[in-house]
Amino acid sequence: MIEKYIPYIGEEFIDELFLISRKLKGIKVLHVNSTKEGGGVAEILNRLVPLMNELGIETDWQIIKGDRTFFNFTKKLHNLLHMPGKEEINSDEIVYYLKITYENMNQIDTENYDVIFIHDPQPMGLVIKKQPGQKWIWRCHIDTSTPDPKAWHFLENFLNAYDACIFHMPEFAYEGITIPTYIIAPSIDPLHPKHIELSQEEIINTLTRFGINPEKPIILQVSRFDRLKDPFGVLKAYKLVKKKYDCQVVLVGAFAPDDPEGEQVYKELLNFATGDKDIFILNLPPNSHKEINAFQRGATVVVQKSLKEGFGLVVSEAMWKAKPVIGSNVGGIKRQIVHGITGYLVNSIEGTAVRIRYLLANPEIRKTMGFHAKERVRHRFLIIRHLRDYLLLINRLLKNND
């Protein structure tokens, strides 16, 4: 299967991958996170784990279990790591986090692995189980540059037991970190059903199945229903654009099982949309890959209006489909969009509306930007580059530097 990537990145890159993985023969790698589906982490692991196995590196993926109380707390922690907030972490929550962590320690076998990647804060406490000789890596998908001090202090207790941590961007790493820190950007997989080419007919059929008019301009945002993705901001920008252009707005989302807030946000969005038949709030089941692919390809302009963002993989997903993306000037969105070349970076609802209007009025510019957007993803945000970075890091940590 790995050879199938050659048309996208060239043969040399693949040879290099086999070369590195030969050095790692015999080791066992484990990835742990908190959900099998929903969100960017699961999305990447779904592809990365089979590819590592194909390269001859025995790799497993395990999921921690938790209940609503646990995930309410880890969601709060997630928000507090993004920025200091009004909420406080209380001692009951810490005790509960440890209780669930201990339960998971009994469920999740970490002993038989040489390298363990722990994704995000939810499973972070498992490091208590670390064995001599193992390398534990904390893979953080969040911007922790300005965390709430108490939330950070809580995590630090675990972090210091890790051998290394990885962030998407240098500015995401809190400056007080004392363990080795690496930067690896995430990626998309061009062979994933969400990214393969689709016929125009398939795209139109999907749009019409959801009642969307393929003839009328479409503004799209694909994101979990989460306030930090600012879906309300997108709808407000749409309302401003709508004064001048007849267009539709489509918010495609889902509830991740580890995000109890999603359902509430979804209901509020439905309320907001009442009475406007050009607003589509679509709550899709997990694995609606073909549909998301069709929406991204069928969109006229793609928006990612996040208030805070980890990486924002959806931006690269749309760029890969040669779409200009208008994204907030935050987090990983800044790394993906080249302002004025592949899309626009914006700072407000009004700014978003201005850029949408401009792009709706200029099809040639949409096309040129879309071309550059795709090339940028090809060079920087495809999965093979991601895989190579992981392998190089493992190699370095295990000191197989012969």
Q: What is the contact surface with ligand UDP in residues (CB under 6 A)?
A: 39-40, 43, 222-224, 252-254, 284, 292, 310-314, 317
Of the candidates 148, 146, 147, 140, the one whose C-alpha atom is nearest the C-alpha of residue 123 is 140
Q: Which is nearer to ligand UDP, 284 or 354 (CB)?
A: 284
State the nearest-atom distance from the C-beta of 219 to ligand UDP, in Å: 16
Chain residue whose CB lies nearest ligand UDP: 40
State the nearest-atom distance from the C-beta of 245 to ligand UDP, in Å: 26
Burial of 200 (0-12, 13-18, 19+ CB in 10 A): exposed
CA 179 vs CA 24, 48, 107, 110, 164: distances in Å: 23, 25, 28, 21, 6
Q: Which is nearer to ligand UDP, 113 or 295 (CB)?
A: 295
Structure tokens at 376: 């940028």
The answer to whether the CB of 124 falls within 8 A of the CB of 90 is no
The whole-angstrom separation of Cα 177 and Cα 185 is 19
Structure tokens at 390: 């992981």
Give the β-pairing of 164-167 and 135-139.
parallel
State the nearest-atom distance from the C-beta of 309 to ligand UDP, in Å: 7
Q: Which is nearer to ligand UDP, 44 or 360 (CB)?
A: 44
Q: Which is nearer to ligand UDP, 116 or 333 (CB)?
A: 333
The whole-angstrom separation of Cα 130 and Cα 231 is 40
State the nearest-atom distance from the C-beta of 103 to ligand UDP, in Å: 25
Q: Which is nearer to ligand UDP, 191 or 284 (CB)?
A: 284
Q: How many CA atoms lie within 13 A of 246 on its CB side?
A: 5
Q: Which is nearer to ligand UDP, 21 or 352 (CB)?
A: 352
State the nearest-atom distance from the C-beta of 341 to ligand UDP, in Å: 21
State the nearest-atom distance from the C-beta of 264 to ligand UDP, in Å: 16
